[in-house]
Amino acid sequence: MASPALATTDDLEARGVDTSDAARAQAALDDASAFIRDVASPEDWLDDNGNLETVPDIVVAICCRAVQRSLDNPQAVQAEGIGSYNVTFANSSPDVYLTKAERASIRRAVGKVTLGAVTIESPYAPRHDFSDIYMDVEGGGDPIPMGPWPNISE
């Protein structure tokens, strides 16, 4: 069973999107919702019975924006010219798609961290006490201390 769309045709109309072709608008909503769930998680915004719960406003807006791109510009034309006619397409397909910024917003809405830090321990820790060893500076100057190294046993 397909999950319900994350936005409605009423949401689209409130944003000025023409939904006169209701079947095409609903199909685009379903597609956009599937892409959003792929980024978020399939079970996000669904209760235990598979019914839609409250969807964050940003997710509804992103869903509508992705649908609007598909409905308003089905050929995905990015630029057109007149003299020596030329055309540039934004996307290789007129299908619904999410931008990189929209994907990041969806991840933030569901609390997924997109950047993290990992602390690793070097296998090359010193095996000797170098706290009293200094390196000479070429061309003169004060010697540079080689230690103290952190105590590994702590």
pLDDT (tens digit, 9 = 90+) per residue, 129-153?
Answer: 555 677 888 888 888 877 665 566 6
Return the domain boundaries, the chain.
9-109
Q: What is the pLDDT of residue 83?
A: 79
| pLDDT at 96 (0 to 100) | 86
Is residue 110 pLDDT above 60, yes or no? yes
What pLDDT sits at residue 131? 59
Phi-psi region of 140 (alpha: psi -120 to 50; beta: other; left: phi over 0): left
Any idea which of 19-23, 39-43, 80-84, 136-140 has the lowest mean pLDDT? 80-84
Per the DSSP assignment, residues forming a β-bridge with 88 are: 79
What is the average per-residue pLDDT within 48-73?
A: 90
As a whole number of angstroms, the distance between CA 152 and CA 3 comes to 54
**Is the pLDDT at 26 greater than 90, yes or no?**
yes
The predicted pLDDT at position 82 comes to 77
CA distance 10 to 126: 66
Taking CA atoms, 80 is separated from 70, 72, 131, in Å, by 18, 16, 69
What's the confidence (pLDDT) of residue 72?
78
